[in-house]
Structure 1
Amino acid sequence: MRTLPLLALSAMLAAPAAAETIYVTNERGDSVTVIDGATLKPVATWPVGKRPRGITLSRDGKQLYVCASDDNAVQVIDRATGRVVADLPSGEDPETFALSPDGTLLFASNERDATVTAIDVPRRAVAFQIVVGVEPEGMAVSPDGRTAVSTSETDNALHWIDIASRKPIAETSVDARPRHAEFTADGRWLWSSAEIGGTVQIVDTATHKVVETIPFAPPGIAPEKVLPVGIRFTPDGKRALVALGRANHVAIIDVATRKVTGYIPVGQRVWQVAIDADGTRAFTANGLSDDVSVIDLKTNTVTATIPAGRAPWGVAIAP
């Protein structure tokens, strides 16, 4: 049997195991930057609609959905060609959205008209629309597909929607300017970031009441610069990463204890964060430094900085 030289074997073991692709919306560039996950280099820039912000992958992985906020549409992008193949109808100024577990409904928050639009994805038509709080921003759908939640920046509230009845069912008061909402995998808790409040709050989904408030204090950073926005859980559900805006840091929270365990310095004005499927790396969209920070989640350090377009806002990862 032929034996590989030690150096060759070491190189094979050190090679990237997965060829992920990272997609970044550039709010002021009207584009999506495509990054090769193996080389950590930009490989393409796709033109899209005006002021792209929220971005996510379709359930089958073949398409991307992008909020073209100033075009009042959610655009569908073919991953194979990079072309916009459809504009899904939304309300005015969609910022973010959330997909139902089966991928058939997409819930978009419409900042200007204070509504949430439920889009029937296969039909590319509006399924229904609900009035919520003023300036709705973040959207989340529960893992069981029964409940949608929007965050109202001006009302400082979360609005809960029963998807089956298409009616609002509850309202939760939270800290100032809620921006992002994220359900835990079991659907038991909803985590919500408050940008001006400088906190993340945990809500009991059974009672719709806040049960925990988590503050942040990155070393050497003025409190007024701590502006939490994006929240993501690692695949094992053990840690949460929170983008802290102008603090230029990502906070790491132990989900079990609900305590901050560390801070990672990243690029300027970090908006959103995405975590890869095996939980080894995170990618941040840095809106003022026009780049993406790559975080090694084993060492909690930034290992690379990747140039993007103008004002990166959202991040999505595809295997």
Structure 2
Amino acid sequence: MNTADAEPRAYITNQGENSVSVISLMTNQVISTIVTAKAPVGVAIDDIDHKLYVSNVESRSISVINMKTNAVMSEIKLKIAPVGITLSKSGSQLFVADWFHDQVLVFDTTTLNQTGAVAIGKAPSGMVVSREGATLYVANRDSDDVGVIDIRSQKLVNKISVGKHPFGVALGGDGKTLYVVNVESNSVSMIDTRKDIVVATISVGEHPYCVTTNADGTRAYVTNTGADTVSVIDTVAKKVIATISVDGFPEGVAFDAKSSRVYVASWMDNAVSVIDAKTNKKISSIPTGSQSRAFGQFIGNITN
């Protein structure tokens, strides 16, 4: 895909009104609203096949959406209430965190059939695949650790202890550092993915939730739901260098490399805050739907 010709879009789940707001990042306006099943939360995007996956907590399902037409293509019915979801690098596998049964479910995205289940720590939540695509990292909220899964064998190969109640996760630009948000410790753990060890713990704001990084990994952005702020971390100095006020109860966060802007979903104010990453200032708010969450990497690219 030629990213220079692609139009970046943000897909914001609105849990309170069973919808996804589609935002054009060229205009910072909502261009479409997609009706989903009940209580959409998590997001995973396949830019290659232009598919959007959305986890629906109350309907116990995953919506599969065509990103070019914004139409729901199919629904994966589950026996669990899904929150965290992510895709393999090829887009051929969908990983679903099974919060209540302490496992990660694996689905074939062609057949939409379940192909595996991996026992993990307690209450798995945020997930991310390694840069080379061989490893899945899973934040286990109630066991205060990160599970490391070998994707090919579908086996748990390591656990890394972090702070209290890890939830959101993100990889740095080079893939060598994993960032884990510790909700009850008000901190972020930095993990060296080559050694699977914590190399730094950085204090952030009250009740942090999600994290993302800029393109080269020199900055990390952490939403603080209890403070209505975003903490900006200098990942080289390993310290917070700015705190930005945003709309109420910020949850999901993503970085758009094309515009060098950070997009933050606000549960309380039903909006997305837009931050200029060059100045660390909030520059606008985009009205969305009720209880915006957007848990996961919610920015994708559309090509004609």
Tell me the TM-score normalized by structure 2. Answer: 0.91
Say which of 292, 295, 298 aligns to 1:316. 298
Deviation at 1:183, TM superposition (A): 2.2
Shift of 1:164: 1.7
| Counterpart selection for 1:52 from 36, 40, 45 | 40
Pick the aligned partner of 1:106 from 94, 102, 107. Answer: 94
- Greater C-alpha radius of gyration: 1
Q: What is the Cα-based RMSD across aligned positions, in Å?
A: 1.8
Q: Give how far 1:207 is off.
A: 3.2
Distance of aligned partners of 1:19 and 1:190 in 2 relative to their CA distance in 1, 3 Å threshold: closer
- Kindly report which structure 2 residues correspond to 1:210-289, keeping only aligned pairs within 5 A, or say none: 210-217=198-205, 226-278=206-258, 280-289=260-269
Q: Is the 8 A contact 1:179 1:229 kept in 2?
A: yes
Q: Which residue of 2 is the match for residue 299 of structure 1? A: 279
Q: Is the 8 A contact 1:73 1:94 kept in 2?
A: yes
Structure 2: runs of 5+ lacking an equivalent: none
Match of 1:212, SS? Answer: strand
Give, in angstroms, the shift of residue 266 of structure 1.
0.3
Hey, what's the Cα distance between the residues in 2 that align with 1:145 and 1:89? 26
- Note if contact 1:90-1:110 (Cα within 8 Å) is conserved in structure 2: no
Deviation of the 1:89 alpha carbon: 5.2
Using the TM superposition, give the Cα deviation of residue 35 of structure 1 relative to its aligned residue in structure 2, in angstroms.
2.0
- The answer (yes or no) to whether the contact 2:172–2:216 under 8 Å persists in 1 is no
How has the CA–CA distance of structure 1 residues 144 and 90 changed in structure 2, closer, same or farther, with 3 Å as cutoff?
Answer: farther
- Residues 213-258 of structure 1 show CA distances to partners (whole Å, capped at 9, x for unaligned) of 00025xxxxxxxx111111111122211111112111111112121
User: In 1, distance between residues paired with 2:140 and 2:300?
Assistant: 29
Distance 2:32 2:197 in 1: 44
Greater relative CO (CA pairs within 8 A, separation 6+) = 2
2:201 aligned counterpart, secondary structure: strand
8 Å CA contact retained: 1:33, 1:308: yes
Q: Distance in 1 between matches of 2:61 and 2:154?
A: 21
For 2:225 and 2:51, locate their aligned partners in 1 and report how far apart those are by CA, in whole Å.
Answer: 28
Q: Percent identity of the aligned residues?
A: 29
**Structure 1 residue 18 displacement after superposition:** 7.7
Tell me, yes or no, if structure 1 residue 152 matches structure 2 residue 132: no
TM-superposed CA distance for 1:36, in Å, is 2.8
Deviation of 1:300 (Å): 1.3
> C-alpha distance in 2, partners of 1:105/1:77?
16
